[in-house]
Structure 1
Amino acid sequence: MSPYLNQIKPWVSVICTSYNHEAYVEQALQSVVDQTYPNVELIVIDNGSTDGSADVITRFVSRHPAVRFLPNPTNLGLNRAFNQGLALAGGRYIIDLSADDVLLPNRISLQADLFEELAGPYAVVFSNAAYIDEQGTETALHYPVDEHGHTRVKVPSGDVFRNILESYFICTPTMMMRRDVLNELGGYDETLSFEDFDFWVRSSRHYHYAYLDEVLTQKRRLADSMQSQVIMPGNQLLRSSLAVCYKAFDRCTAPSDYKALAKRIRKLIRKAFYTEQFDLAIQFGQLLQYIEPPGVLTTLILSLSHLHLPINSLYRHYLKWRRSPQSPYPQVKLV
């Protein structure tokens, strides 16, 4: 990586983590190679896959020898695997690419150019995304758009700490991040089961985010995705969320921050209850009481948590019905 070239067009490091993505990893890697931006390095970590992912990556690297490949013999967890790549990355900016997602050809160019134009403490540039299924067919957009392709909703930008606490509004794989900020934070927290909420909380307290109003990434939704795991009993995602909520609590400075965090905690109490993680629901409730009284509905859910009701099967049947075309209330949300 020439320092001279890095001044003209800063290098961007794409860290692609793969675990049992044999059917999709080649398309993900090819989407990096096909970028219109000139200065891109690609680092691939196979995280102990038990399918043919490592073989697919090996063949790809043989055709593109500049790609760096780290095959882990066992699964080290998503966050630790990403940190392996981060330790090798030399780019000014970082993209965390899942091996089942796809970058559109002009993504890196547009995001890197915007980063270079920004003034002030910006750590992240993110964008709109298209959701695709197993076959690659587009099924939805993260943000709805008008006839000109511009989002119809107001997307938070700048100081987004309070927005981060309130809701998930960023499509994680669309982010481009400053490497120095990631290094300052020590990378992803390897004690957690997922990365995005924690990174958002820790980075947005001191840095700004910029939204680029373009569809630049295809995010694949699979049946065994993390989104589907969060509704299952025993999943570790909610326990990680509790740890992040405590981090967020320590970083709140204004009444509006605490109010936003309380709103998030109430949602997580319901999710813990529906997944029969009753002890976790009560722990979320204890954190909520540091901020404000739980309220009637949340108090009821916390009381029911002591009864250990077998509710998860009913909850999953409800979610399946809600998503079906026959449902008269497809937009009703229980969580």
Structure 2
Amino acid sequence: MSAKVSVICLCFNHEKYVEEAMNSVLAQTYPTELIVVDDASSDNSVRKINDYVKQHSNINIQTLFFEKNVGNCKAFNSALELTNADYIIDLAADDILLPDRVEEGVKNMELNPKLAINFTNANYIDEEGEYMKSHYSINKKGNATVHVPHGNLFHHILARYFICSPTMMYRASFFKEIGGYDENLAYEDFDLMLRLSRKYPFSYTDRILVEKRVLNASMSTKQYKRGSNQLESTLKICKKAAEMIQDKIEKRALLKRIAYEAKQAFVYKRFLIFIAFIKLGVKIILQK
């Protein structure tokens, strides 16, 4: 029996892009279930989604509409309850899956039942869909010119950002085993990767299989600025990580991350959070 794959497409004020995102799922070379979630958009996203579903009435597209904004983590967890898929992809409604993303992911993960995540290279595109750069630089054959760690990645993920989150395919059973996304956080990927990599290996497919859109209004472009609560969430994740580290290598990796986040907090004049990161770093240094 073939593995079942579900793509959960999360939409929040993405009326301009949501149709293209949904098209990219239906265009997959591997049969893929589509679940579209709208997190109380204030634009015409809901109408766009409903019209799309009507136009594709021959395909079973599940939808979930929230009347009040609940955030990415809760919205995704709620959609996860609607599927019994073996593998899951979290697709933001402004990003695009290239046609064989799912097929390549299933092929890779079926080789090793211990893998929690398969990730790939990606292209960054602008608001109009124009190419900006690749996540990992590539040669003429399309292969990464840098070493991309894979396997047991806990200390690598602790130390620095290097996995392009939209490229990740999750093994659903492992994802559910650890409780899904932490709904107390403003964003999900760093925490989720840490908790999964603590227990399971990740694999890397050296191909560009996703297009990640860079928007001026996106969370990632505002993560350190006042008004964003992502730094607070990063501090919470680092505190959780402090309870997970097991050796000196992991301790150094966490301190490297804390130093980086503290620097960003200082640069953006988030001084209370800066002090909190410094205190956490000192506490970890003094731990035996």
TM-score by length of 1: 0.83
**How do residues 59-70 of structure 1 correspond to structure 2 at under 5 angstroms?**
59-65=51-57, 66-70=60-64
| Counterpart contact for 1:103–1:218, Cα < 8 Å | yes
Quote how far apart the aligned CAs of 1:147 are.
Answer: 1.2
Gaps (5+ residues) in structure 2?
none
What is the CA-CA distance between 1:192 and the residue it aligns to? 0.3
The secondary structure found in structure 2 opposite 1:251 is: coil
Residue number among 214, 226, 237 corresponding to 1:244 in the alignment:
237
Residue aligning to 1:192: 185
Deviations 1:18-69 (Å, cap 9, x if unpaired)? 000000000000000010102x111111000000000000011112230001
Q: Which moved more, 1:230-239 or 1:135-144?
A: 230-239
Q: Secondary structure of the residue that 2:81 maps to in structure 1? A: helix
Per the TM alignment, residue 233 of structure 1 is displaced from its structure 2 partner at its CA by: 1.4
Helix, strand or coil at the partner of 1:122? coil
* Structure 2 counterpart of 1:297: none
Which entry has the higher C-alpha Rg, 1 or 2? 1
- The size of the alignment, in residue pairs, is 284
Bigger proportion of residues as helix? 1
Is it true that 1:202 corresponds to 2:195 in the alignment? yes
Q: Is the 8 A contact 2:224 2:230 kept in 1?
A: no
* Residues 103-112 or 62-71, more deviating: 62-71
Corresponding residue for residue 102 of structure 1: 96
1:4: which partner in 2?
A: none
Whole-angstrom CA distance in 1 between matches of 2:10 and 2:165: 14
Aligned Cα root-mean-square deviation (Å): 1.0
Tell whether the 8 Å contact from 2:224 to 2:231 is kept in structure 1 after alignment: no
Note the 1:208-219 alignment, pairs <5 A.
Answer: 208-219=201-212
Deviation of 1:290 after TM superposition, in Å, equals 1.8
For 1:43 and 1:194, how far apart are their aligned partners in 2? 20
Higher-RCO chain (CA-CA 8 Å, sequence separation at least 6): 2
Pick the aligned partner of 2:109 from 105, 110, 115. 115
Matches within 5 A, 1:107-256: 107-118=101-112, 121-256=114-249
How many percent identity over aligned positions?
42
Separation (CA, whole Å) in 2 of partners of 1:187 and 1:63: 32
Structure 2 distance, partners of 1:127, 1:137, is 20
Aligned counterparts of 1:231 and 1:254: Cα–Cα separation in 2: 30
1:292 match: secondary structure: helix
**1:76 maps to 2:70:** yes
- Residue deviations 1:175-200 (CA, integer Å, cap 9, x gap): 00011111111110000000000001
The residue number in structure 2 matching 1:266 is 259
- Quick check: 1:123–1:181 contact (8 Å CA) kept in 2? yes
Q: What is the CA-CA distance between 1:107 and the residue it aligns to?
A: 0.7
Q: Which amino acid aligns with 2:235?
A: L
Pick from 11, 14, 37 the counterpart of residue 45 of structure 1.
37
- Which of 258, 261, 271 lines up with 1:278 in the alignment? 271
Conserved 8 A contact 1:159-1:207: yes
The residue type equivalent to 1:142 in the other structure is H
Work out the CA distance in 1 between the residues paired with 2:130 and 2:115: 33
2:167 maps to a residue whose letter is: T
What's the secondary structure of 2:110's corresponding residue? helix
Q: Which runs of 4+ in 1 moved over 4 A?
A: none
TM-score normalized with structure 2 length: 0.97
2:120–2:209 Cα contact (<8 Å) kept: yes
